[in-house]
Amino acid sequence: MPRELVYFSPTLSPRDYRRKVSDIFSQELSRQGLRMTSQRRRILDELMNAERHLSEKEIYRSLASSGIGRTTVFRTLKVLRECRLVEQVSGTDRPRFELRWERPHHDHLVCISCGHIREVRWPKLEAIQERTCRKIGFVPKWHRHEIFGLCAACSR
């Protein structure tokens, strides 16, 4: 069973933040009898250094030159999802992968013109959701909330 989702304090420095996420990955792996490898480390780094949410293809293209195979990217993303460190979200086109340990949960505004993804936090929405789910006996595990449209720049 995966550990509980815990958020970092925003006071963590970028360096410490990366170290911490890396440590959690190692711990999760050994807890499951799995091993930390250079490939897994690199794929996680790639996700941590990215500005946007990456697709499998983008990760592969960045790392292929260092000899990492496509299969490994797929398999590592699967492991990261099982560790609840990464979440799969649906972009305009292909699935994309997002680190869950970065910031509190947020939803996405996806621009259908330029592809830009903006993150929004909606605590009020989350509260309403939780209440409704409780009322009808649905036990929510995670959710995906994406609004597609035109960003401010593209709508002019």
Partner DNA sequence: ATGCCTGCAAACGTTTTGCACATAG
Partner DNA sequence: CTATGTGCAAAACGTTTGCAGGCAT
Contact footprint for DNA (CB under 7 A):
26, 29-30, 33-40, 56-57, 67-72, 74-76, 78-79, 94-95
- Say how far apart CA 80 and CA 86 lie, in whole Å: 5
99 binds, among a second copy, DNA, none (CB under 5 to 8 A by kind): none
Residue type, 29: L
Are 151 and 109 in contact by the 8 Å Cβ rule? The answer is yes
120 binds a second copy (CB under 8 A): yes
Of 108, 120, 118, which is closest to residue 145 (Cα–Cα)?
108
Residue type, 94: R
Q: Of 19-27, 33-41, 64-72, 139-147, which part binds a second copy (CB under 8 A)?
A: 139-147
Residues within window 78-117 making contact with a second copy, judged by CB under 8 A:
90, 109, 111-112
Are 40 and 79 in contact by the 8 Å Cβ rule? The answer is yes
Q: Which residues bind a second copy (CB under 8 A)?
A: 90, 109, 111-112, 118, 120, 122, 124-125, 128-129, 132-133, 136-152, 155
